[in-house]
Amino acid sequence: MRLRLIAILCLLVSASGIVLGQTAVRPQIEAALDAWSSRADARDAILKVSQDPLPVLIAISKSRHESDARRSHAIALLATFRGPLSGSALEQLTDDSNPKYRCLALQSIVELKSRSAVPVLIGKLDDQAVCMKSVSTDPGEEHQVYVSDEAVRLLEQVTGQSFDKESTSGHLATKPWKDWWAEQKATARPSS
C-alpha cells in the first residue's frame, strides 16, 4: 500500500512538473507568436524556449481568450510539427465555432500531409460559413470565401484533380468532389 502511495505521488509530482514547465514557457511562446515576422523565425524562437511546445501551441490555438493573431499563428505553426498530436488538434480545430479558424486548420492539415486530410476536406464540402474575403482588382470586386470553397481549393492541391470551377451560386462546386469521393470509396472496397 505504501509503495502504491509513493508511486502515485511520484506520478503526480512528475505530471505537475510538466504542467509547471509548460506554464513557465507559455509567456515566452506567446511573445514569440506576437513578435511574428515569419513562421520559420517564430518556430526557431519557440524551439529555443521549449523542445516540446506542442501542448502550449495547441492550448493557444484552441483558446477563445487569445487574440486573433496569436491563435492564427499557433494554428499555422502546428503544421510544422509533424505527428499525431498536432494532426489531432488540427482536426479538432476544423470544427471550431469560428469559420476563419476552420479554414486555417484545413490549410495546416494539408501542410502537415496528414492521412486524414482528404476525408476532413470532404467533410467540409457542405460548410457554407464565410471564412475570409477575396479581393480582385480587375474588375474591383470583393468575394466571400466559404469554408467549402477552401476545402475544394485544398482538395485540388492535394489530389491534383480539378473539376467544374463554380456552382450556380458563384462559389466553388462541391458536387463533383462528393461524386469523386463516393467513387474513391467504392473502388477501395473489396468486391464480394
Give me the tens of pLDDT residue by residue for the chain, a chain 192 residues long.
554 545 444 444 444 444 445 668 999 999 999 999 999 999 999 999 999 999 999 999 999 999 999 999 999 999 999 889 999 999 999 999 999 999 999 999 999 988 889 999 999 999 999 999 988 787 788 889 999 999 999 999 999 999 877 776 778 899 999 999 999 989 877 665
Alpha-helical segments (H) within 81-146: 84-93, 99-112, 117-123
Nearest to 77 by CA among 47, 100, 99, 102: 47
The answer to whether 59 and 83 have CB atoms below 8 angstroms apart is: no
Question: What stretch of H or E contains 75?
Answer: helix 68-78
Site of grid cell 477501395: 188
Cα–Cα distance for residue pair 154/147, rounded to 1 Å = 11
φ/ψ of 146, rounded to 5, equals -80, 160
The answer to whether 90 and 75 have CB atoms below 8 angstroms apart is: yes
Question: What stretch of H or E contains 111?
Answer: helix 99-112
Cα–Cα distance for residue pair 111/145, rounded to 1 Å = 20
Reported pTM: 0.83
